[in-house]
Amino acid sequence: MSKIITLMEWLKEITRYPHDTHKFIQICEREGIGNPTNPDENYERIVFYIYTDTHCYSIVAIDKVSDDGYLGCQAATRKALAGEDWVRGNDLPDGPFTRNTWEKIKDAIIGYELVELSTSSGCCEESCYSKCPAEAVITEREKEDEPVACGIDSKDCKT
């Protein structure tokens, strides 16, 4: 199976409707390049775009017969900042055309889209644990003898 077809299967993981990837992925270029004197140098190249409200992600995939090929991504803002006539962008992960590189690209896109929380001082008071940043969440119990869960009839339960 072609690596490009495999990539199309991987794209189903990030689209809302896996059987309608064409609604979320814009294929801009697709070409097969052949070398008649050396078929081992044949390759297929595809470039496609994924859009979010604020960014455009350009993903390039090259499927080579002779090696692992290439998979890479670039991010660009969709809107220029005030006073600028260009959009800003960054290189995201790239590397051989492997599942590992794809996972790095997906993680980078998610990280790029995350929005920093605006936290007020004293957010971690007893009454508002649901609004605390992740680093404030206690991940270990302080004492091993404290119960984790309680029965309905328990009156001295600490959770």
Instruction: Give the start-to-end residue ranges of the domains of the chain.
Output: 3-113
Per the CB < 8 A criterion, the answer to whether 94 and 71 are in contact is yes
| Sign, Cα dihedral of 84, 85, 87, 88 | negative
pLDDT in tens, the chain (159 residues): 588 888 989 998 888 887 888 888 888 888 887 777 777 777 888 999 999 999 999 999 998 877 888 999 999 998 888 888 888 889 999 999 999 999 999 999 999 999 888 876 555 555 555 666 666 666 665 665 555 555 555 555 554
CA distance 21 to 16: 8
Query: Of all helices (H) and strands (E), which one includes residue 58?
Result: strand 55-64
Which 8-state DSSP code applies to residue 149? S
8 Å CB contact between 44 and 31? yes
Phi-psi region of 49 (alpha: psi -120 to 50; beta: other; left: phi over 0): beta
pTM over 0.75: no
Which pLDDT value is given to residue 133? 63
pLDDT for the residue numbered 68: 83
Cα–Cα distances in angstroms (integers) from residue 149 to residues 20, 132, 139, 145, in the given order: 44, 23, 16, 12
Residue 44 — φ and ψ, nearest 5°? Answer: -120, 135
